[in-house]
Amino acid sequence: MYGNMQGMMQKMQKMQKEMEKAQRNIEESLFEATDTNQLVKVQVNGKKELTELHIEEALVDPEDIDMLQDLVLATVNDALSQVDAETEQKMGKFTKGLNLPF
C-alpha cells in the first residue's frame, strides 16, 4: 500500500509540474484580434493584459465616440476569449474526469 501511495504522489507531482509548464506557456503567449473591417487591432497576453492597441485613423470620428468605444471593447473581449479557449484546451486535460468542485 505504501508503494502505491508513493507512486500516486510521484504522478501528482509530475502532473503539477506539467500544469505549471502549461500555465507558463499560456501566460507567455500572445493573442490577437481584429474587427471584421480591420479598423481595430488588439493584442493581449495570456495573463489577460492588453499589450497592443491599434486604431485606424479613419475610425476616429469625434462625432461618434460611442461606436469607437464599442468596437474597441468587442475586439478586446474577442482577444480575451481566445485566452480562455486556449486555457481550457491546455489546462482542461489535467482536470478531466477528476470531478472537482470548481
What mean pLDDT is reported for the chain? 89
Look up residue 66 and give its three cell numbers.
460611442
Grid cell 480562455 in the structure block, residue: 84
Report field, pTM of the whole predicted structure over 0.75: no
Pick from 46, 20, 35: nearest CA to 69: 35
| Higher per-residue confidence, 2 vs 58 | 58
Query: At residue 102, does pLDDT exceed 60?
Result: no
The pLDDT-based confidence of 7 (bands split at 50, 70, 90) is confident
Query: At residue 95, does pLDDT exceed 90?
Result: no
Tally Cβ neighbours within 10 Å of residue 47: 11
DSSP state of 94: H
